[in-house]
Chain A
């Protein structure tokens, strides 16, 4: 009887785009560590918690005004909605129902709605029993009037702060990695405290003239002494009591230093992962960054250029001395083997990286990284360095978009320098943008002033520009002369005066930075105006 509406409802939710969309939205808002919204929400919640705690402290000595009460109501409303939303997000109930139903259909058994609902509620209960959910609940409950007595529990609101930052998780991780040592220490300390509690009680109880009234006092004294805090509110006076104190202080010193050293070494061991996590967290906030694999001379050169351009990048290298250099320069880096899938994935090859540069000095590694990257992301731009001529086609085969041969270019430049020193300076000058002169592309946007214009009508001269050519993949130009095939496009060198520009063509000009930027602005404006 219950089956039909339940299953129908589950399928309805599954197919409803609106439901899925809103669930996705709240997931991004509350849980998705990658989403920007979550970080804003976390900051908002931290402020809210702080404010509400401020009101709590204020109300210790003052009467809250109406505004204060109203604010409190608002805060509680936000907390309750957050709690419920998290419970909702924790599991997909309709999925459980559908799964159970389909299983029953497949196995030809009867579908039990009660059992399924139990499962659904079980999942939700699982959420409610999680540590953070309990803290959330305790932060809300005291606001309910009949439970005013629990007002002190409002302090749990402060614990809520941990939810919005990563620190508690890190700390718990660090501690859990040293579980064995900590447990050993705890057991040892437990015995120690137990023995000293009993001993001090026996020596220093009231009837023996001491100030220890009962076992709780003895326990309190033990903890105060073993931790070397030593308030001095309870002091042993008998000979036996003092003996116990001396022994306890000495062992306490040992226990304390042991505890400190465990924590320190745990942090030390985790430091690397912690730092790496920070790197990844910083990366996840970036778009369009570049992965540089190999931080040798070539990698360093590229990094310096990118730094100047304010282009974001991350360096991956396994070599200690290379990484040290990256560290000194404050670059984002990962010390690991760049040919591993996980390393590249963590470095964001599928999340935000636009290009990957394989610049190690070893061609074998470059081929391997290229292959791995192409496999992980079919669309990423891969630029690889090849030190030997015979490896160039292997790199292209592995999926590189461009292959650079340092020795080939250098040889070519050397030959050029001997043969045509002036031309050599010209090439270098254009490539390195010396004297602010550069070669730049002007993109012909649809509906901008350049579209359907013929070259003869564009006055490059008065704009202080020199036309070099046009890059286009447009088929209408194919019959033109001076055609050079470059990748999937054609480069039309020195186009004739009646060459008609089409949308998406790229005009290559030589000129000063200002003239080019000025012309680009005009093109941009004309595009906007025509809209």
Chain B
């Protein structure tokens, strides 16, 4: 169970939280505006109101011991930088994801210790650019992976003792066995980088390697179960 705290309730946080698997994530939304807090509660989310500027308040919700991830989705870039800075000071190994309204604030957030910066405007610009340049592919990714159709990109970790251990990626033939397309492999022997499966290199699979696949969720689950078979 991953414990997540989301600061600020808005379209972005709603979208992020509702996409998270509710069973495996424990989400708490921090919102000071009573109206927004109410609407988050109406949607069934756990909420709390506290002052993010106070370290004691942050510690009181579990930052520093039980919380794994925080989302800094406050509207002001300066608030997000402040929050990132405070949270990083309290917890060194906390995963901090923050939104940035401009390229300059992105740099500041990184400096303050955020792990991942999300710049909605940049992403939006990129998406529009892709739509113009490659309308077909972007449409498909939108409808399937991002959209409501049942086609997802998922990662599957090879557990210890799986039958896939010591086999080669070229023998996987996922498209015939599982109706999945192999997108890439993280071969731990070669580091944490994702290697796209485009027939360049045959990877020897070991426990801990990650396989990234594209396909319907039923097939993904079947594959996950199959991989876990010892």
Interface residues of A (CB under 8 A from B): 290, 296-302, 304-306, 309, 311, 355, 357, 359, 381, 383, 385, 387-389, 402, 404-423, 425-427, 429-432, 435, 437, 439-441, 460-469, 471, 482, 484, 486-487, 491, 493-494, 506, 508, 510-512, 515
Contact = CB atoms under 8 A, between A and B. Distances in A.
Contact of A414 (B118, B180, B181): B118
A304 B200 CA distance: 32
Contact of A510 (B122, B180, B198): B198
30 contacts: A290-B132, A297-B121, A300-B125, A301-B124, A301-B125, A311-B132, A383-B132, A402-B135, A402-B139, A404-B127, A407-B12, A407-B120, A409-B123, A411-B12, A411-B17, A412-B15, A419-B20, A423-B153, A426-B212, A439-B134, A439-B141, A463-B199, A464-B199, A465-B198, A484-B143, A486-B143, A486-B144, A491-B140, A491-B144, A493-B179
A383 B128 contact: yes
A302 B125 contact: yes
Contacts of A408: 11-12, 15
Given A440-B137, A466-B182, A418 B25 contact: yes
B43 interface: no
Interface in B1-39: 2, 4, 10-21, 25
B222 interface: no
B14 to A, nearest CB: 7
A347 B69 CA distance: 47
Contacts of B194: 422, 425-426, 429
A414 B16 contact: yes
A423 B155 contact: yes
A420 B121 contact: no
B123 A406 contact: yes
A465 B199 CA distance: 7
Contacts of B120: 406-407, 409-410
Given A306-B129, A429-B194, A465-B198, A411 B15 contact: yes
A298 B175 contact: no
B143 to A, nearest CB: 5
Contacts of A409: 120, 123-124, 127, 146
Given A418-B95, A422-B194, A426-B184, A484 B151 contact: yes
A355 to B, nearest CB: 6
Interface of B: 2, 4, 10-21, 25, 69, 71, 95, 97, 99, 101-102, 116, 118-137, 139-141, 143-146, 149, 151, 153-155, 175, 179-184, 186, 194, 196-200, 210, 212, 214-216
B210 to A, nearest CB: 5
Contacts of A508: 136-137, 140
A299 B144 contact: no
A484 B149 contact: yes
Given A406-B121, A515-B198, 4 more contacts: A302-B129, A385-B124, A405-B124, A471-B140
A297 B140 contact: no
A309 B132 CA distance: 11
A410 B99 contact: yes
Contacts of B197: 466, 510
Contacts of A305: 125-126, 129
A437 B16 CA distance: 27
A410 B123 contact: yes
Contacts of A415: 15-17, 19-20
A506 B125 CA distance: 26
A50 to B, nearest CB: 44
Contacts of B19: 411-412, 415-416
B221 to A, nearest CB: 14
Contacts of B95: 418
